[in-house]
Chain A
Amino acid sequence: MASIGAVATAPLRARKAGENSPASIGFLVTLWVAVAVAMICLLTLLVTAFVDGYPRLDGALFTRYSSRVIPETAGARAAILGSMWVIGTTALLAIPLGIAAGVYLEEFADEQRWYNRLIEVNLQNLAAVPAIVYGMLTAGFALAIGLERRVVLAGAIALSLLILPVIIITTREALRAVPAEIRQGSLALGATPLQTVWRQTLPSALPGVATGTILALSRALGEAAPLLLLGGLVFVSYDPNGLMSGFTTLPIQIFSWTGQPQEEFQELASAAIIVLLGLLLLMNALAIIIRNRYQRHW
């Protein structure tokens, strides 16, 4: 290391190169400035949305439908309910599958077998595939089995596929954190591996799994790209009433309103953004509470 050698042989330079040298301070200031820029961006974004949208944040937003006639009294009711329906269905699809896959991969799969290693690599790739590709996959799948694309079920399938890798990976990490002694104790008492997992390992890992799942769902809540591909941009002014019903979601509604040039629609978009961010904040807070209160530190 040339620099350390140089410093060692020129001790007087150390005074200039100390913690308060211009270069050091300059470096620290640069870091501060960069971080400040990031924080300013965040604040500007939140303030812009809040200031524009606050006037529209009233009961009407939750009870009225989107309108082309009177933007002054339009609301995001269809979008809010649509989001709840789609996320609810996504949770029902993705959580059991994800946890089951995570349990299998972590507890039962033999790492030496080639197909298990393939699954591992595959998962990491899938977690980084662009969201819109999942929409294309679901569109193709729906076409192949004759399912209508514009329905809640198709949207839920697309989002489930999107967050499945994330749930699997976080389940595995949560299971990995459970010490071997727990498993060994259970097996020593005569339980089968499956009983061990079901009664000891998984419950111990539950807080971590719950946290990861809620975070994955909150990501699904904010996604619009896969649903666009399923024809979610049609002007919807009714509540969803089943898995086979048409739908729209908050992000799609925001996308649609943002694209409309009149001032009133920009305000509506900001109000909807406030609602969406509020929902996400709630979900993330829930995840953090679970993590802090229930997480075991072995």
Chain B
Amino acid sequence: MTSLRPGRSGPPDGPSIRRQSPRYGERAVMALLLAAGALSVVVTVGIVVALLFPALDFFREIPVWEFLSGTRWAPTFADPSFGVWPLITGTIWTTVIGLLVAVPIGLAAAIYLAEYADPRVRKVLKPALEVLAGIPSVVYGYFALVFVAPELLNDLLHVEVGTYSVLAAGLVLGIMIIPTIASLSEDSLTAVPQSLRQGSLALGANRMRTTLRVVFPAAISGIAASVVLGLSRAVGETMIVALAAGTQAQVVSSPTTPGQTMTGYIAQTATGESTPGTLTYNTLFAVGLLLFVITLVINIISIRLVRRFREAY
């Protein structure tokens, strides 16, 4: 329901009572509110500035091409290299493994909740998903390090991994983003009008066909938005990879090896605390800027998709 904004489209004739007593206090309050609203823009500008200036300092010394295409990331060593590609492969591996876990399970949960579940099951399942969503990422990181790597992977599944691996981190990352995908997908599935389902059922299709061939395609943009949002969260996640993925910045070629992601590098370097102004300090912001740009692009795509799904009905 939209609110009325009488100030703009007031009565065309007749005395306007408001004009008789200009309330300066009100104008001041309005100005404050406008300032509050504008704060969000200030924050974005702030992020860009805070990241951009040190990153520009960095790129003055290391050409952008070398940064983006180099395959050796060793900024602090005697023979330094600043190719960010190893960090990107670390991010890609953990994110892909995470999505491989989260998308099937999240979509299945969404479909089940939207199409099949009876109210008793919903009463248990929805809060359970909300609990999963509310668990802090540091707890997930603990789980990855203490349980997934040694017990699940090594003992139970006999996959040989060391303490740190992109596999352990990726699996837990996937568990963390299941609720994101499930809830947004469920929203978009339930937004599909009943008439579509009824039409399909009337023509003799069973529920599975209806779901897969009618409802699912109708909700596809919302579902795509949820996957993209999950992707964005996975790329930006720090604590799980900081605890469980390792600190070896190498071009990751196998899931059982350790690897370092962009966020993991930022966390590690920031806690090590180098001096502002040095090249090492600026690598932090170059990687941060890259991370921000990547998540920005992903988010814009996701917002567009959400807008399309919301407009459809």
In the complex, A touching B, CB below 8 Å?
A: yes
Residue of A21, A184, A223, A273 touching B4 (CB-CB under 8 A): A184
Check if B59 is an interface residue, CB within 8 A of chain A: no
Please state if B236 and A277 are interface contacts (CB–CB under 8 Å): no
Residue of A31, A34, A133, A180 touching B291 (CB-CB under 8 A): A133
Q: How many residues of A contact B (CB 8 A)?
A: 108
For B105, the chain A residues whose CB sits under 8 A away are 34-35, 37-38
Check if B223 is an interface residue, CB within 8 A of chain A: no
Please state if B136 and A276 are interface contacts (CB–CB under 8 Å): yes
For B303, the chain A residues whose CB sits under 8 A away are 121, 124-125
Please state if A34 and B32 are interface contacts (CB–CB under 8 Å): no
Please state if A44 and B147 are interface contacts (CB–CB under 8 Å): yes
Check if A187 is an interface residue, CB within 8 A of chain B: yes
Pick out which of these stretches binds chain A: B60-68, B75-83, B250-258, B264-272. B264-272
> Which chain B residue shows the least CB distance to A222?
B136
For B213, the chain A residues whose CB sits under 8 A away are 1, 3
Residue of B3, B8, B131 touching A183 (CB-CB under 8 A): B3
Please state if B36 and A101 are interface contacts (CB–CB under 8 Å): yes
Question: Least Cβ distance of A60 to chain B in Å?
Answer: 20
Residue of A32, A123, A194 touching B29 (CB-CB under 8 A): A194
Check if A233 is an interface residue, CB within 8 A of chain B: yes
Question: Least Cβ distance of B99 to chain A in Å?
Answer: 14
> Which chain B residue shows the least CB distance to A255?
B138
> Which chain B residue shows the least CB distance to A192?
B26
Check if A45 is an interface residue, CB within 8 A of chain B: yes
Distance, CA A119 to CA B213, complexed state (A) = 39
For B302, the chain A residues whose CB sits under 8 A away are 128
Which range contains the number of B residues in contact with the other chain? 35 or more
Please state if B205 and A254 are interface contacts (CB–CB under 8 Å): no
For B299, the chain A residues whose CB sits under 8 A away are 124-125, 128-129
Distance, CA A31 to CA B114, complexed state (A) = 12
Considering the complex, which residues of chain B in the window 177-219 have a beta carbon less than 8 Å from any beta carbon of chain A? 178, 200, 203-209, 212-214
Please state if B271 and A233 are interface contacts (CB–CB under 8 Å): yes
For B220, the chain A residues whose CB sits under 8 A away are none
Distance, CA A279 to CA B232, complexed state (A) = 27
> Which chain B residue shows the least CB distance to A201?
B3
Interface of A is mostly: helix
Please state if B36 and A31 are interface contacts (CB–CB under 8 Å): no
Check if B157 is an interface residue, CB within 8 A of chain A: no
Please state if A277 and B109 are interface contacts (CB–CB under 8 Å): no
Distance, CA A4 to CA B178, complexed state (A) = 32
Question: Least Cβ distance of B286 to chain A in Å?
Answer: 11
For A264, the chain B residues whose CB sits under 8 A away are none
Q: How would residues 22 to 43 of chain B score, 1 for a CB under 8 Å from any chain A CB and 0 otherwise?
A: 0100100110111011111101
> Which chain B residue shows the least CB distance to A221?
B136
Instruction: Give A residues with C-beta under 8 Å from B.
Output: 1, 3-4, 7-8, 11, 14, 17-19, 21, 23-24, 27-28, 30-32, 34-35, 37-39, 41-42, 44-45, 48-49, 52, 97, 100-101, 103-110, 115-116, 118-119, 121-126, 128-137, 139-141, 143, 161, 164-165, 168, 175-180, 183-184, 187, 190, 192-194, 201, 218-219, 221-225, 228-229, 231, 233, 251-252, 254-255, 258-259, 266, 269-270, 273, 276-277, 280, 284
21 A-B contacts (beta carbon < 8 Å): A1-B214, A3-B205, A4-B204, A24-B207, A41-B175, A49-B139, A104-B33, A119-B38, A125-B296, A125-B303, A126-B44, A129-B295, A136-B47, A136-B285, A180-B4, A183-B3, A192-B18, A222-B136, A225-B263, A231-B271, A280-B135
Instruction: Give B residues with C-beta under 8 Å from A.
Output: 1-8, 17-18, 23, 26, 29-30, 32-34, 36-41, 43-44, 46-47, 49-51, 54, 104-105, 108-109, 111-112, 116, 125, 128-132, 134-143, 145-147, 175, 178, 200, 203-209, 212-214, 229, 232-233, 235-239, 242-243, 263, 266-267, 270-271, 273, 276, 284-285, 288, 291-292, 295-296, 299-300, 302-303
Nearest 4 CB-CB pairings of A with B: A130-B236, A222-B136, A34-B108, A140-B50
